[in-house]
Amino acid sequence: AGIGCVDNWLAFGSHKGNWNTRWHGGVATVVESQGDEVWGVVWKLAISSLDSLDIQEEVDGGVYQPIEINVQTPDGELACRCYQMNQCVYGLTSPQYKQVIYWGSKCVDSNLYKSKLFCNDWDFRRCTGPLCNSHRSRSGDV
C-alpha cells in the first residue's frame, strides 16, 4: 500500500437519495474535476479479490461502478480501479465514516493525514467541519 493523488474531488452522498443506514450519512465517491486533487491510499489487490470488492460496493445493484483512474504516486503513474457512485445525491457524511477513512490512511502512513490527505479547512480527526452531519455513535455503531 502507498499514497497517490488523482485529479478529482472527494464527495459524500447516497445512491438515489437512499441514505446508508450502516454509516448514518453519505458515503464516499470521487468526481472528476481537473485542477482539483484528492490524495488517498493505493492498495495492491489480487485480481481474484475483485469479485468480492464488487459485491461490497454493490456493483450488481447499480450503487457503484468500477472505473479506471490514473493515480500519481511517488513512484510514478499507476492505472487503478476506483468505485464511483451512480446517481449520487450529495450530502453530509457521519463522524464515524470519516473516522474510518482517517484510520485507514493512518495505518498506511502515519504522517499522511498531516501532509497531503487531510490538509484542508476542516479537522478530519474530530469531524467538526461542514461536510459532517450530527449523528453520534451508539453502542454497535462503527
Active site residues: 57
For CA atoms 32, 123, 21, 91, the dihedral sign is negative
Phi, psi angle pair for 119, to nearest 5°: -90, 85
**Distance (Å, whole) CA 48 – CA 57:** 16
Extract the runs of DSSP E, i.e. beta strands, from the chain: 2-6, 8-15, 27-32, 38-42, 64-73, 76-85, 88-90
Report residue 109 as a C-alpha cell.
Answer: 502512513
Report residue 24 as a C-alpha cell.
Answer: 448514518
Has 113 been labeled as part of a binding site? no
**Distance (Å, whole) CA 12 – CA 132:** 9
Q: Which residues are annotated as a binding site for substrate?
A: 97
